[in-house]
Amino acid sequence: MKPLLKSYILKRLISLIPVIIIVAVITFFITNLMPGDPVRVILGNMATEEQVIQLEESLGLDQPLIYRFFDWAVNIIRGDFGDSLYLNSSVRSAIISRIEPTFLIALMAQLMGGILGLSLGILAAVNHRKIMDKLSITVSLLGISVPSFWLSIILILVFSVWLRWFPVSGYEPLAEGGFSTFRYLILPSTALAFMQAGIIARITRSSVLDTFKADYIRTARSKGLFQRTIIIKHSLKNAMVPIITVIGHNFAILLGGTWIIETIFFIPGTGYLAINAIMRRDIPVIQGCIIFVALIYITVNFLVDISYVFFNPRIKYS
Q: Which of residues 172-201 bind other proteins (CB under 8 A)?
A: 199
Using CA atoms, how far residue 185 sits from 6, 114, 219, in Å, is: 39, 17, 47
Q: Is position 294 an interface residue for other proteins (rule: CB under 8 A)?
A: yes
Q: Is position 167 an interface residue for other proteins (rule: CB under 8 A)?
A: yes
Q: Which positions from 199 to 238 touch other proteins by CB under 8 A, shown as an x/- string?
A: x--xx--xx--x----------------------------
Dihedral of alpha carbons 202, 203, 209, 213, sign? positive
Q: Which one, 51 or 225, has the nearer CB to other proteins?
A: 51
Residue of the chain from 132, 217, 278, 304 that contacts other proteins (CB under 8 A): 278
Q: CA 96 to CA 220: how far, in whole Å?
A: 51
SS (H, E, C) 6-34: HHHHHHHHHHHHHHHHHHHHHHHHHHHCC
Whether residue 203 contacts residue 300, with contact meaning beta carbons closer than 8 Å, is answered with no
Please choose, out of 74-82, 110-118, 152-160, 306-314, the segment that lies near other proteins by the rule CB under 8 A: 152-160
Q: For helices 283-311 and 270-280, what crossing angle results, to 10°?
A: 140
Question: Smallest distance, Å, CB 158 to other proteins?
Answer: 10
Q: Angle CA(226)–CA(231)–CA(237) in degrees, nearest 5?
A: 145
Q: For residue 146, which phi and psi values (nearest 5 degrees)? A: -90, 125
Q: Is position 29 an interface residue for other proteins (rule: CB under 8 A)?
A: no
DSSP of 139-162: HHHHHHHS-HHHHHHHHIIIIIII
Q: Is position 315 an interface residue for other proteins (rule: CB under 8 A)?
A: no
Residue of the chain from 121, 273, 284, 288 that contacts other proteins (CB under 8 A): 273
Q: Which one, 40 or 218, has the nearer CB to other proteins?
A: 40
Q: Which one, 182 or 225, has the nearer CB to other proteins?
A: 182
Residue of the chain from 90, 119, 160, 181 that contacts other proteins (CB under 8 A): 160
Dihedral of alpha carbons 222, 228, 229, 231, sign? positive
**Cα atoms found within 13 Å of the Cα of residue 37, Cβ hemisphere only:** 12
Which residues 90-129 are close enough to bind other proteins by CB under 8 A? none
Please choose, out of 43-51, 64-72, 104-112, 225-233, the segment that lies near other proteins by the rule CB under 8 A: 43-51
Work out the burial of residue 180: count CB atoms within 10 Å of its CB; fewer than 13 is exposed, 13-18 middle, 19 or more buried. Answer: exposed
Q: Is position 9 an interface residue for other proteins (rule: CB under 8 A)?
A: no
Q: Which one, 43 or 225, has the nearer CB to other proteins?
A: 43
Residue of the chain from 4, 21, 115, 303 that contacts other proteins (CB under 8 A): 21
Q: Which one, 48 or 222, has the nearer CB to other proteins?
A: 48
Q: Which one, 51 or 119, has the nearer CB to other proteins?
A: 51
Question: Smallest distance, Å, CB 41 to other proteins?
Answer: 4
Q: How far apart are the first and last CA of the chain?
A: 17
What letter represents residue 60's amino acid?
G
Question: Smallest distance, Å, CB 238 to other proteins?
Answer: 14
Whether residue 216 contacts residue 230, with contact meaning beta carbons closer than 8 Å, is answered with no
